[in-house]
Amino acid sequence: MASCSLLLPLFIACIVLSSSKIDAQVEETSLKLMSDALEWPLSMSLYDEEGNGYSRRSLFWKRMRYYISYGALSANRIPCPPRSGRSYYTHNCFNAHGPVHPYSRGCSRITRCRR
């Protein structure tokens, strides 16, 4: 029983000491980040291709490219009309058979099941 009464204060002391080390590390890291921020160059090139990860981190400067598929460009391709419930890419949608699965969000208190 005496060993249990000695282990509890020892365990609490270990927790207190480990938490103080974590606080010291967090404060040291935050000071380091602030000093790194002050050392950045004043002008940065937008077209920096040194492989430092800048292009990987910045999605804003990526150029969007939109492509039209060869199937959409074919002369005999007629898109499905909107509100038909079929996908725009359904092949030969006017002769397609089978169940149509329109978009439905379900019943909620706001819509009162009117959709």
Give the start-to-end residue ranges of the domains of the chain. Answer: 73-97
- Per-residue pLDDT band at 36 (split at 50, 70, 90): very low
Read out DSSP for 3-68? HHHHHHHHHHHHHHHHHHHHHHHHHHHHHHHHHHHHTS-S---TT--SSSSHHHH-STTPPP----
Question: What mean pLDDT is predicted for residues 5-30?
Answer: 65
Structure tokens given for 41: 């160059």
Contact 46, 61 (CB under 8 A): yes
Q: So what's the pLDDT on residue 102?
A: 57
Structure tokens given for 39: 């050392």
Q: So what's the pLDDT on residue 35?
A: 47
Closest listed residue to residue 72, CA positions, set 55, 56, 87, 50: 87
- What does the alpha-carbon distance between residue 46 and residue 62 come to, in Å, rounded to a whole number? 11
**Cβ contacts of 10-16, under 8 Å, gap ≥ 24:** none
pLDDT digit string, tens, across residues 17-27? 766 555 445 44
Q: Which of residues 31 and 60 earns the better pLDDT score?
A: 60
